[in-house]
Structure 1
Amino acid sequence: MQTRQSIDLAERILAGENPGPEAYQALAASPDEEVMHVLPGADILREKHSGRTVHLCTILNAKSGRCSEDCAFCAQSAFARTSAPVYPFVGKEHVQASARQVARTPVHRFSIVTSGKRLSKAELSSLCEGLSELGGNRLRFCASLGTLDREDCAKLKQAGVSRYHHNLESSESFYNQICTTHSFRERFQTIQVAKEAGLSVCAGGLFGIGETDQQVLELALTLKALNVDAVPLNFLTPIPGTRLQDAHHLTPLRCLKIIAIFRYVLPDKEILICGGREANLQDLHPLIFHAGASGIMTGNYLTTKGRTLEQDLSLLDQLKFTVRA
């Protein structure tokens, strides 16, 4: 794809046209080394979606390790042999203290994340009680608590959670290569349940786990069909002791292409760059916004270090972006 073609594609999308599978497939098949020709159109779409503003979110790892699921990439899986921290649900007071600390920063979405297939009913009740007690806190709350049912999601919404996070992780055609203890369909249905409960949904995936570019596109199209609100893109940081400890499939250029694919397929959705952005994008990291990203997760991730809020605010200032109000 040449620069003029990428701009034409973006303009067609903005005009309300559905480019169709052939255009998307050509985009996914374009060589990584030609990604700079793809970025102008993605940048146009991002600018239309969010202008010069950037969404900032951060997470709290509120329950870590000993997860019963066998996800090949995860340091918290009980099937892995890693040095990831292990601790039970931190309790409502810890969640409240963390939320109040984040509320004093420009970050406007705070997500509570827990390991395991799902948070127990008792733990969920404690979390909901803690969030309800925060009252008029200016933060928007998100939660990533595993495979919940409709009653659980309704309880979260009543407590003040506005968005539920549940990644599909990869395309359906690749999914069984990375997880066997729960199905792609189960993850898909959890997203549907959250939407039916009236929650906004944040769902994306992880890249660099052995998927093809066509499977990247497959995941993007699935999320488009689900009509999710925000799409977090994570890039694998291989962790010693996991099944993917020796996986090295990513380059900075491929990361940029993946971001661009999602922006073309999901032109009006929040595209968030999360885990692994620094290690995998390296010196090209500032180009994530021109590739179509409209937000970033700042601070540490679940078991790996991230960039500090101060570093990310400095980057945004240099690029003349502002934090989303």
Structure 2
Amino acid sequence: MTSELLNTLVDKALQRRIPERSEALALLGDSEPLIDVVAAGARVRREFFGARVKLNTIVNMKSGLCPEDCGYCSQRLGSAAEVLKYSWIAPEKAAEVAGDAVRAGAKRVCLVASGRGPGERDLGRIENTIAAIKSEHPRVEICVCLGLLADGQAERLAAAGAHAYSHNLNTAEARYADICSTHTFTDRVDTLGRASTAGLSPCSGAIFGMGESDDDIVDVALALRELNPDSVPVNFLIPFEGTPLGDRWDLTPERCLRILALFRFYFPDVEVRLAGGREIHLRGLQSTALHLANSIFLGDYLTSEGQPGADDRQMIIDAGFTIEGVDEQTLPAARHDLVAIRRRGAGTALPSNA
């Protein structure tokens, strides 16, 4: 019999209400059997997304030599990780890589470049790359991830045909300085705000396995809720040798699944994406994670290799799911919880919220 806690979490999620902190912490603990936790999260996932799995792919436009010092990143300042290092690839090459993934089933192409943020020439390169991809695949979603954005840059990306902008919060604000000193949590929130204001779909998630506590996990989930993202990538730390977090192997498959379940309850009708590190940390339970996440990355990541795309597609089919087509809508059509009718301020007897 499903427990009172899990029934409560499911009922809240189906009404698009979030868990109480105490409920979230209990879910991350071991009081509820893992199979029951997954089954409860799966009820919510199927209500809003059915049996569909959305495929996404990454094109690493510029690799390594980043001036930022994010401790989890193999491209960081001072990294001794032996990853690929190269300057910008040509738009035509990026379009070729993207095209291979689209033909393999990818619905979204994520264009990513290392660095603090884009310069004028960088934006031009991305604009040309979007045009090259769209000329062959006009219906594919283009997501861009270039770091911190300055005034007007998000608007240029939107005008060029970008669909989304990705910029992860990564961890809770209270411990952000523990993993990065060259920019702040607030800088990241500001960039997501710029992207949203420009009409780009906000994509933001987190990385787990960096020594965070259960409270930290809840805190970053709440911070992400404030951003109202359309997609939330859930990454599990890939511990590269030569980085400050290269010796952290804290995660178990069960821990990963409980985190994914928590994010499904916090983001019931939002695209929850199973992202970096899934092969390493979920191992034989990757297909189980599909009962919680409705989206995955296909192929390789920024600086590490993923499992073969054919294996991913077979895993999806074997688990009883179907690959989402380009003509299908990912997010549920109705999100009435986001519409708050004004009942205060002008025209009422109540004060405004200014």
TM-score (normalizing by structure 2): 0.87
**Structure 2 equivalent of residue 200 of structure 1:** 201
The size of the alignment, in residue pairs, is 323
**Structure 1 equivalent of residue 101 of structure 2:** 102
Alignment of 1:236-255 (within 5 A): 236-255=237-256
Q: Deviations over 1:291-313 (max 9, x none)?
A: x2111101011111102211111
| 1:285 aligned counterpart, secondary structure | helix
**Structure 2 equivalent of residue 304 of structure 1:** 304
Deviates more, 1:159-168 or 1:36-45: 36-45
**Structure 2 equivalent of residue 117 of structure 1:** 116
**Structure 2 equivalent of residue 263 of structure 1:** 264
**Structure 2 equivalent of residue 43 of structure 1:** 42
- C-alpha spacing 1:139/1:17, structure 2 compared with 1 (3 Å): closer
Given that 1:150 and 1:197 are in contact with CA atoms closer than 8 Å, whether structure 2 keeps it comes out as: no
**Structure 2 equivalent of residue 317 of structure 1:** 317
- C-alpha spacing 1:179/1:18, structure 2 compared with 1 (3 Å): closer
Q: For 1:42, give the aligned amino acid.
A: G
Superposed displacement of residue 84, structure 1: 1.0
Q: For 1:274, give the aligned amino acid.
A: A
Deviates more, 1:225-234 or 1:36-45: 36-45
- C-alpha spacing 1:250/1:49, structure 2 compared with 1 (3 Å): same
**Structure 1 equivalent of residue 167 of structure 2:** 166
Task: Please tell me the root mean square deviation across aligned C-alpha atoms, in Å.
Answer: 1.8
Given that 1:3 and 1:38 are in contact with CA atoms closer than 8 Å, whether structure 2 keeps it comes out as: no
**Structure 1 equivalent of residue 25 of structure 2:** 25
For 2:298 and 2:258, the matched residues in 1 are separated by 22
For 1:38 and 1:16, the matched residues in 2 are separated by 18
- C-alpha spacing 1:105/1:137, structure 2 compared with 1 (3 Å): farther
Q: For 1:162, give the aligned amino acid.
A: H
Q: Deviations over 1:262-288 (max 9, x none)?
A: 111111111001111011011222110
Instruction: Mark the runs of 5 or more structure 1 residues left unpaired by the alignment.
Output: none
For 2:129 and 2:297, the matched residues in 1 are separated by 23
Superposed displacement of residue 19, structure 1: 4.1
Q: For 2:158, give the aligned amino acid.
A: K
Superposed displacement of residue 130, structure 1: 3.0
Q: For 1:45, give the aligned amino acid.
A: V
1:64 matches 2:30:
no
Given that 1:71 and 1:180 are in contact with CA atoms closer than 8 Å, whether structure 2 keeps it comes out as: yes
For 1:25 and 1:173, the matched residues in 2 are separated by 18
Superposed displacement of residue 94, structure 1: 1.7
Given that 1:168 and 1:187 are in contact with CA atoms closer than 8 Å, whether structure 2 keeps it comes out as: yes
Superposed displacement of residue 5, structure 1: 3.0
| 1:22 aligned counterpart, secondary structure | helix
- C-alpha spacing 1:19/1:126, structure 2 compared with 1 (3 Å): closer
| 2:86 aligned counterpart, secondary structure | coil
Superposed displacement of residue 21, structure 1: 3.1
For 1:129 and 1:75, the matched residues in 2 are separated by 27
**Structure 2 equivalent of residue 151 of structure 1:** 152
Deviates more, 1:124-133 or 1:84-93: 124-133
For 1:16 and 1:145, the matched residues in 2 are separated by 31
1:13 matches 2:31:
no
Q: Which of structures 1 and 2 has the bigger CA Rg?
A: 2
TM-score (normalizing by structure 1): 0.94
For 1:106 and 1:16, the matched residues in 2 are separated by 30
**Structure 2 equivalent of residue 140 of structure 1:** 141
For 2:120 and 2:16, the matched residues in 1 are separated by 44
